[in-house]
Amino acid sequence: MTQASICTIGDEILIGQIVDTNSSMISRALEAIGIKVTRMLSFGDDHDEIISNLTNELEHNQIVITTGGLGPTKDDITKAALAELSCSAYNVVNEVQLRIIHEILGARGLDVLDINEAQAQVPDTCDVIPNRLGTAPIMVFRFPEERFGHPATLYSLPGVPFEAQGAVPDIIEDIRSHTPLTDIFHKCVMVAGMAESALSKLIAPWEDNLPSDMHLAYLPNQLTGVRLRLSIYGGNKEDEEKRIDDQFALLAPILGDKIYSFQDDTLQNAIGSIFRGSGMTLSAAESCTGGMISSLLTSVPGASEYYLGSVTSYAIAVKQHVLDVSPETIGFYGVVSQEVAAAMAEGVRKLTGSTYSVATTGLAGPGGDGRNEVGTVWIGISGPNGTKTVRKVYKNDRTRNIERFTSAALDELRLFVIEDLRKSK
C-alpha cells in the first residue's frame, strides 16, 4: 500500500499560533484514493531542519506532501532547501504563475513588487502546478528510485488553507496518474440531531451485521452532525457502490429523518435542496446566534432564489420595533423564552413575507440572565401551518454554544418543513 507523510513547515504552527487544519484535509483526500498516511509532522522555517526532516520522510514514504513555508516574505528558505534537496542548479521563472501573480495583485489594485514576482521562480528540477488561488506555485519534485530506495514524490503546497485545499484535486490527479493505487470506495450518510455515542448504540445491530470487508467510520462535526462513512478497499466501482447502497438502505428505516443526505453534505445545503425550485421562501430572526444562521444559509451558491434575509435582533428594541415582539411578552416571559422565540419567528416571517422562518433566542455565555441555564436556546420555526418551538441546552463555551444553537436551528427548520410537505401530499 502506498504510504504518505504530510508535513507542515513554519514556526507559526510550532509555536501554536495557528492550528493546522491542512494536514487533516489532505489526509482525508489521500485516504479517499487508498493511500495510507503514516505520519504527520510540523517543523520550523529553518534550512537544515527542512532538509533533514524531508529526507527522513522521503526515505520512509513514497509520497510526501508539505504545506507552508512559502509566501512573499519567507519562501527563500523553503525554496533554497528544496533546491538543495533536489540538487537543483538554479531557479527558473514559471510564466503561468507569473501571469497569475499579476492578475491577483492587479485585481486587488496592488503593485507587483519584486518579492511578488520572485514567487514565480522555482528550482529547475521541479514540475509546477499553477496555483490559481494565490501567488505561490505548487512544486512537484520527483525523485528516482536510487535516491531513497524507492520512487518518491514531494509536493510542496502553500500554507494558506484555502489555497492548499484548492491544490488538492490537482495533487490527487497527479498522484493517480503516476502511482498504481488500490481503489477504495466510500459513500456517506449525514445524520443530524444525535450525539455520536447515542447514534452508535442505536445502529449497533446494523453495524454488527456489516460485511467484513466494509469499514464504518463516524466523522462528527459541530455544525453538520455525524457523517457515517462506509469504505471498501479494492473491487469494481459499480458493484461495490451498489453493495454500500444496499447497506445504507437497511440503515435508512432505523434512522428515518435523522438522515438528511446520502452524500457528504451540510444542513444548509440540505435546506437549499428542499427550497430550491419549490417556490417557497425563507427568512431568519437571530438573537444569540448573532448572524451565523444567515451566514450559513447564504454560503450556499444560489441561496438568493429562496432566502429573503434576516434580522439579528441583539437589542430588545430591535426585537420590539423591527420584529414586532410585544413588550409584554418580553417582560412577562423574558427574552430567552418559548414565547419570544415564537414571536420572533412570526415577526420576521411577516416582515419579509417568507413562507417559512427560523428564530433563535438563548444564552451563549459567558454571562447568564439569572433565569435560564447558560447554554439554553429556544428555537422558533414558523410556516403556513403554524409555529413550533424547541428548547435545547448545551454545555460548551460561547463559540461552541453558538455553533450548536445554529446547527440545531437549521435541523429543526429542516424537520418542520419536510413534515409539512409530507402532510400536504
Q: How far apart are CA 405 and CA 402, in angstroms?
A: 5
β-partners of residue 121 are: 93
Is residue 307 involved in binding a second copy (CB under 8 A)?
yes
E strand or H helix at 415: helix 398-424
DSSP annotation of 278 reads T
Q: How far apart are CA 265 and CA 33, in angstroms?
A: 19
- Using the contact rule CB under 8 A, the part of the chain among 17-25, 150-158, 168-176, 379-387 near a second copy is 17-25
Q: Which of 33, 77, 80, 104 binds a second copy (CB under 8 A)?
A: 104
The grid coordinates listed for 122 are 522555482
Distance in Å, CB of 314 to a second copy, minimum: 4
Distance in Å, CB of 281 to a second copy, minimum: 8
AA identity, residue 196: E
DSSP annotation of 110 reads -
Between residue 389 and residue 408, which ones bind a second copy under the rule CB under 8 A? 393-400, 402
- x/- track of binding to a second copy for residues 318-357 (CB under 8 A): x--xx----------------------------xxx----
Is residue 57 involved in binding a second copy (CB under 8 A)?
no
Is residue 177 involved in binding a second copy (CB under 8 A)?
no
Q: Which of 292, 377, 379, 410 binds a second copy (CB under 8 A)?
A: 292
Question: What is the dihedral sign for C-alpha 353, 357, 362, 366?
Answer: negative
- Using the contact rule CB under 8 A, the part of the chain among 10-18, 148-156, 271-279, 412-420 near a second copy is 10-18
Q: Evaluate whether 164 touches 25 at the Cβ level (below 8 Å).
A: yes
- CB nearer to a second copy: give 79 or 227: 227
Q: How far apart are CA 197 and CA 216, in angstroms?
A: 14
Taking CA atoms, 95 is separated from 76, 130, 201, 209, in Å, by: 19, 10, 57, 56
Is residue 53 involved in binding a second copy (CB under 8 A)?
yes
AA identity, residue 282: L
Between residue 187 and residue 206, which ones bind a second copy under the rule CB under 8 A? 195-198, 200-201
Distance in Å, CB of 415 to a second copy, minimum: 17
Between residue 26 and residue 45, which ones bind a second copy under the rule CB under 8 A? 26-28, 31, 37-44
Is residue 366 involved in binding a second copy (CB under 8 A)?
yes
Is residue 77 involved in binding a second copy (CB under 8 A)?
no
- Cell 471498501, located at residue: 232
DSSP annotation of 65 reads E
Is residue 247 involved in binding a second copy (CB under 8 A)?
no
DSSP annotation of 224 reads T
